[in-house]
Amino acid sequence: MTGALEGLKVVELASEHAALAGKMLGDLGADVIVVEPPGGHASRAYGPFADDVEDPERSLWWWYYNTSKRGVVLDLTTDAGAAQFRGLVADADIVLEGETPGTLATLGFDHHEMRADHERLIWVSVTPFGSEGTRAHEPATDLTLLAGGGPAWSCGYDDHSLPPVRGGGNQAFHIGSTWAVMGALTAVLAREVTGHGQHVDVSMHAACNVTTEMGTYGYLAGHETVLRQTGRHAMPTISMPTQMRCADGRYVTTGFPPRSQRDFESLLEWIETLGYRDEFPETMLLDLAIERGGVSIAEMSTDDLARDIFGAGREALNFIAERIPAEDFFIGGQTRGLACGVVASPEEAFETEHIKARGFQVEVEHEQLGRAVRYPGAPFLMPASPWRISRRAPLVGEHADHILRRDPQ
Amino acid sequence: MGALSHIRICDLSGQLAGAGATRYLATVGAQVIRVEDPVKQGTWDIVRGAGPFVDDRRGIEFGSGFNNHNVEKLGIALNLREERGKELLRALVAGCDVVTENFAAGVMARMGFSYEELRAIKPDIVYVSNSGFGATGPNTAFKTWGPIVQAVSGLTFSSGIPGEAPAGWGYSYMDHMGADIMAVAILAGLIHRNRTGEGQWIDMSCTEAGTTLVGPDLLDYTVNGRPLRRDGEPDSNHSHAPLRVPHGIYPSEGDDNWVAIACRDDDDWQRMAAVIAEPWATDPRNDTLGERAAVQDALDARIAEWTRARDRFAVAESLRAAGVPATAVARPEDRIDHDPGTSEWGLWPTAHHREMGDVRVDGIPLHFSETDWSIERGGPCLGEHTHQVLSELLGLDDDEIERLAKDGIT
């Protein structure tokens, strides 16, 4: 069985910005050739490293973001390298790059000209602020993009003497890369109708700006400024805590409080089973909730009692959470139909029976280490054209022979 | 003429994680027909009628989040508890390329719209489900919202300051990323269908999608056996991989004002030290990354002392002018009303909602040179386009449409 993007050829210039986009296209079945400068791309120097040995072939950053790609080294500043790059692009459906605006044009690879020569070509640029405009040349990193684009303002703690927090894990690049894939695939579908490729210009700053939920639409609609709050939604006003430290010291999120009659029945049953009916001070409001058939969010803005009942549901979850271990809370709540979650570290998230049962743990062979390595697998299961890590990330220049040795005819 | 003007989507999804996916597709021309429940007045979707609000009016037509996430869609009301309602949905599906939903796993099948049933109606249908844990596996019945997905996928834990509780994400990050990855699934499913003629059921687990976003930390565990649950972690304002120092968010003049600074290498630090121009900064003992990393906390304290006495925009500008990545931590008003990076992009288009009027909404963070996106129409009122869709797409006459409304089907 082949991947959904079987037959699409992608030439990716190695970058931090678009590496995940190339991986997504490759894992979806496209033939992705990642082009690195002599010596390999700078991200090969990013840790952590396999067995903590610093080596360009052992960067776990490089490994993760470059699966399902083949690799070549080209020096685009030389005539030979430039000609080979043009040769690759001539065969490609998509060029994916994250260079500083103007850099490629200076080297003679202006996408307008290259697309004029190759009208089906789709050229995707992933840059901090887009290809043009006042800010196009500002230096930026994952941190400054998340801080300047909105996400960080909403993330952090109730205690505002602590700084706003950058969400971990290169998320500005992830946001930009995911939009790059959306744009690239949209352009592929448009090309099926028009016959023409086009330029897809992704601004990571713009992408962060529209990845902030109420932080943005609350201001656009109501000129509200949200305030960051520990482990829960930033809101214009301070809300009740939802992230609780459990009896074992680990955290849970008590989720979105009960609203339906059945939810309130489950909650009351849980409190009674644990023996807290008399100890929990707002049991009466839970009884009331059941009597009136639950509450709805729309009622909150007009009905004080609905608001009190909603609050009591939240209090009840928090009350239970503080008294039992985190995993027991998560399972106890969810088996009763109450939405809640345990705050898992990445490794804990990965080592669940659920994830194993769905085949999310994928083994990728790293023959130079003499062993296979487990990777996170598919973000979605598509059985007719499975998402698949077809190969480990390439070594520096690994596929030069196959890719660059072209028939002289 | 949008990029996807040839695509029609029967959209049973909602909230933010589903609505965000089809929202994007609608802005690039797909005809997205959002189906809502007239009996519950569409309130399965918790943002329908929820604040923030544009004025004092309240009710199901005044939620700005719903408006924001449903621009450019058509909205119809259909009571799927009734056989006649199901018949109409089947007729609609027959004319669609894609069916989308993000109910809890199993809900569609219980309503009589499993993949097998959808495929019997339209053999090459691309059916995309987005649920918290996916349609199979021991936790499939578990319910989630964005913050729960973020918690169980590892994203919440990865964000914070050492010694504190996890800070997590102050909004439903995975409703955005879940929606975006769901859009990728829809697009990939269409490309596969167009090449092979084959439809399929794409089963997305939003939790697994979330765990793909903590990749390098996870490989540190699977390769090196090093868990992220360890002393000193999470520490996400610093940069360990790649190692960069200084790298953080520092206080500045005023109340709750902050500036983010990231020195990528020794050269960035030299330039920053020259801007600071104080002996502690230009001290040659700070010249190399290794030396700075060894005194990171002390260096952070010095920098914070320097930034605290200064305006956040002035600090960021002086550093950027020297070539060092820096920015004020943007408040909503900074980035929405005073930022050429968003205004020149056209990032805040005005959409017209039938009841709310003209409201600014999120734009799209990419531009297409030939078939760009467009946002003009706001989110649909409940059943706003029922007549139009039943008449134009399904060919029903006015009497029949009126009868359906009277019988509580629409």
Is the pTM above the cut of 0.90? yes
Q: Which residues contact B328 (CB under 8 A, 6 or more apart)?
A: A147, A148, B252, B257, B258, B259, B260, B312, B313, B315, B316, B334
* Mutate which: B22, B28, B107, B219, vs A, most A CBs within 10 A: B219
Listed as ranges, residues in chain A with pLDDT below 50 are 407-409
Q: Would you call B318 an interface residue with chain A, using a CB distance cutoff of 8 Å?
A: no
Give the pLDDT confidence score for residue A268 in this predicted structure. 96
Cα(A288)–Cα(A286) distance, integer angstroms: 5
What residue type is assigned to position B300 of the chain? D
Cα(A150)–Cα(A138) distance, integer angstroms: 17
Query: Does the distance separating the beta carbons of A163 and B237 come in below 8 Å?
Result: yes
Strand A227-229 vs strand A232-235: parallel, antiparallel, or unpaired? antiparallel
Could you please report the per-residue DSSP string of B28-52? TT-EEEEEE-TTTTTTTSTTTT-S-
Q: What is the pLDDT of residues A21-46, one digit of tens each?
A: 999 999 999 999 999 999 999 999 99
Dihedral pair phi/psi, residue B118, rounded to 5° = -65, -40
Contacts of B348 in chain A (CB under 8 A): 220
What residue type is assigned to position A260 of the chain? S
Could you please report the per-residue DSSP string of B148-179? HHHHHHTTTTTSS-TTS-----SS-HHHHHHH
Contact map slice: B 52-91 vs A, CB within 8 A? 52-54, 58-60, 64-65, 67-68
Counting other chains too, the contacts that A80-89 makes at CB distance below 8 Å and 24 or more residues apart are A82/A107, A82/A108, A82/A109, A84/A404, A85/A11, A85/A35, A85/A109, A86/A114, A87/A404, A87/A406, A88/A11, A88/A33, A88/A35, A88/A403, A89/A11, A89/A114, A89/A118, A89/A121
Q: Which sign, positive or negative, has the C-alpha torsion A191, A194, A198, A203?
A: negative
Q: What one-character DSSP code corresponds to residue B244?
A: E
Cα(B167)–Cα(A372) distance, integer angstroms: 34
* Mutate which: B369, B373, B374, vs A, most A CBs within 10 A: B369
Cis peptide, bond prior to residue B234, ω within 30 of zero: yes
Cα(B115)–Cα(B129) distance, integer angstroms: 10
Contacts of B61 in chain A (CB under 8 A): none
Q: What residues does A127 pair with on adjacent strands? A: A203
| Residue found under tokens 């997590």 | B168
Q: What one-character DSSP code corresponds to residue B389?
A: I
CB A82 within 8 A of CB A75: no
Q: What is the pLDDT of residues A122-177, one digit of tens each?
A: 999 999 999 999 999 999 999 999 999 999 999 999 999 999 999 999 999 999 99
Dihedral pair phi/psi, residue B103, rounded to 5° = -70, 170
Give the pLDDT confidence score for residue A169 in this predicted structure. 96
CB B159 within 8 A of CB B236: yes
CA B371 to chain centre: 22
What residue type is assigned to position A199 of the chain? H
Dihedral pair phi/psi, residue B398, rounded to 5° = -60, -40
Q: What is the C-alpha radius of gyration for chain B, rounded to an integer number of angstroms?
A: 25
Question: How far off is chain A from B402, nearest CA to CA, in Å?
Answer: 28
Q: Would you call B232 an interface residue with chain A, using a CB distance cutoff of 8 Å?
A: no
B275-310 residues labelled b (16+ CB within 10 A) or e (exposed): ebeeeebeeeebeebeebeeeeeebbebbbebbeeb
Q: Which two tokens stand for residue B252?
A: 């500045």
Contacts of B3 in chain A (CB under 8 A): 186-187, 189-190
Question: How far off is chain B from A84, nearest CA to CA, in Å?
Answer: 26
CB B27 within 8 A of CB B68: no
Query: Does the distance separating the beta carbons of A28 and B188 come in below 8 Å?
Result: yes
CB B248 within 8 A of CB B300: yes
Q: How many CA atoms lie within 13 A of A201 on its CB side?
A: 19
Q: Which residues contact B119 (CB under 8 A, 6 or more apart)?
A: B125, B127, B199
* Mutate which: A53, A201, A232, A381, vs B, most B CBs within 10 A: A381
Give the pLDDT confidence score for residue A406 in this predicted structure. 57
pLDDT digits (tens), chain B, 410 positions: 799 999 999 999 999 999 999 999 999 999 999 999 999 999 999 999 998 999 999 999 999 999 999 999 999 999 999 999 999 999 999 999 999 999 988 899 999 999 999 999 999 999 999 999 999 999 999 999 999 999 999 999 999 999 999 999 999 999 999 999 999 999 999 999 999 999 999 999 999 999 999 999 999 999 999 999 999 999 999 999 999 999 999 999 999 999 999 999 999 999 999 999 999 999 999 999 999 999 999 999 999 999 999 999 999 999 999 999 999 999 999 999 999 999 999 999 999 999 999 999 999 999 999 999 999 999 999 999 999 999 999 999 999 999 999 999 99
Q: Which two tokens stand for residue A325?
A: 């271990």
Its ipTM equals 0.98
Cα(B94)–Cα(A166) distance, integer angstroms: 46
Q: What residues does B161 pair with on adjacent strands? A: none
| Residue found under tokens 């019988």 | B407
Q: Which residues contact A189 (CB under 8 A, 6 or more apart)?
A: B3, B4, B7, B187, B190, B191, B194
Residue from the list B43, B242, B366 with its beta carbon closest to the beta carbon of A298: B43
Cα(A42)–Cα(A56) distance, integer angstroms: 9
CB A306 within 8 A of CB A296: yes
Residue from the list B134, B142, B241 with its beta carbon closest to the beta carbon of A46: B241
Contact map slice: B 145-164 vs A, CB within 8 A? 145, 147-161, 164
